[in-house]
Amino acid sequence: MFNDSLKQLSKRLASREISSVELTTEFLERIRQLNPRYNAFITVDEEKSLAQARHADRKIAAGEMDFLTGIPVAQKDIFCAEGWLTTCGSRMLSNFVSPYDAGVIERFNQTGAVNIGKTNMDEFAMGSSNETSYFGPVRNPWDVAAVPGGSSGGSASAVAARMAPVATGTDTGGSIRQPAALCGISGIKPTYGTVSRYGMIAFASSLDQGGPMAKSAEDLALMLNVMTGFDERDSTSLQREKEDYARDLDKPLSGLRIGLPKEYFAEGMSSDVEKAIAQALDEYRKLGAEMVDVSLPNSPLSIPVYYVLAPAEASSNLSRFDGVRYGYRAQHYQDLAEMYRNTRAEGFGAEVKRRILIGTYVLSHGYYDAYYIKAQKLRRLIAQDFSDAFTRCDVIMGPTAPAVAFDLGEKSSDPIQMYLSDIYTSATNLAGLPGMSIPVGFGDKMRPVGLHIIGDYFSEARMLNIAHQYQLNTDWHLRIPQI
């Protein structure tokens, strides 16, 4: 049951083979057994989860079942959920119980899904290893000595260890796709603006985007059907017709043009990752795809551009956390200014402080034009590179991460090396494009490798079709870590 697809679980619930209460109880028991080892969940509230499960069972009995009714979903702890502790992996929000639901949470509640718990994450989504969390690092189920990736590492670890059938994540520079790759699962960041950011605690508003994480591309499509849609409370939400992301899953791939950027296959990719990616591309050739050489000349600039723009937006967004209205407040201070200083000094971790300082610097008088404005101009060039490439190909493929999961603590003292973990993923956020990662094998120490698939705007259904056809002919997505 723990390895069942969403379709299989939904069918079991619809036929009354199992109730939502029974299904939820099974996953809660698995969390009790495994979470002490992996630290994938920050908050589990069995009473709330089972109450939702009982409500789902009543809906099913009344013939009001939607596809996800009764199915447990793990929620990244960046999404506000009414009555749930919502920490964003930070001491600053370690006592914050949300009084409302995020737009994404509302959509799952409306379909009758069960919130199985809130997953661990890098503090305020800032990190590539899930080591910056105030609640301790998450461990990779394939190797507990390895990181799961970040910032959605808790969600990735939960799905990989089968503590949840599916999970939500957010992606600012690769935070769905990179942990999906490192944990051997599937994950997609949809086109910017398709998933509501209302109630999703902001890191970098022009880059953040929610998305699903699951075992397979088919499950991702079914999750996107619930998660996407216009939300008038989110000024960046796009008003467009609802679509069925599973509609093209069974289409053949003959005639598909896959773009291979020369910049992605240059120096920097480890040999074990390169081998797994090459084998995946060979499988696509067998399925009828054609390989096309393309170039993304400005993609090497994506990391420096990202680490100017994202911290700039973070320094603004995180200014609201001052100890006045909610969250952590320092105990010792003499006046208001000292309360601000002490609260922020004690409430934020080192990585969050680093990015706030960088962001404040690049936005300051005398440096705004030299850094922030120049980065915005380069962002436009990066987006134009993708537009030019898509005139020659249907999708772009390459590695999701330059290497397999690294060891816990290996890069903690070297922020630059940590930032380079997102070298292949951050450009899609800068351009607002959809990107996804699917498992395609194993590299060094039998740690998973992910294939990165990038599509043009609103091409998620086609991307999911491309991933699904690969998964029909391989079994990497069905592999389970020894637990």
Residues classed as catalytic: 76, 151, 175
Are 229 and 243 within 8 A, CB to CB?
A: no
Place of tokens 């899930």: 130
Distances (CA, A) of 94 to 90, 133, 336, 428: 6, 11, 22, 32
* CA–CA dist 59, 111 (Å, integer): 10
8 Å CB contact between 164 and 145: no
Which residue type does 208 have? D
Nearest-angstrom CA–CA distance, 409 and 403: 16
Q: Look-up: residue for tokens 């990616």?
A: 277
Backbone angles phi, psi at 159, to 5 degrees: -70, -45
Hey, what amino acid is at 242? K
Of 90, 447, 412, 460, which Cα lies nearest the Cα of 244? 460
What 3-state DSSP class applies to 358?
helix
What are the tokens at 440? 């395609």
Residue matched to tokens 């099913």: 60
Q: Torsion-angle region of residue 202: left (phi > 0), alpha (psi -120 to 50) or beta? A: beta
Phi/psi for 396 (5° steps) reads: -115, 140
Place of tokens 């291979």: 260
- Cα separation values, 437 from 100, 131, 269, 392, Å: 31, 21, 16, 22
Residue recorded with tokens 């390169």:
274
Q: Do residues 173 and 422 make contact, with C-beta atoms less than 8 angstroms apart?
A: yes
CA distance linking residue 299 with residue 454, whole number of Å = 13
Coil, strand or helix at 36: helix
- Sign of the Cα torsion 383, 385, 389, 395 reads negative
Report which of 289, 254, 227, 221 is spatially closest to residue 468, judged by C-alpha positions.
221
Pairwise CA distance, residues 299 & 378, whole Å: 10
Structure tokens belonging to residue 216: 């397979």
DSSP state of 406: P
Q: Shortest CA distance to 204 belongs to which of 370, 422, 414? A: 422
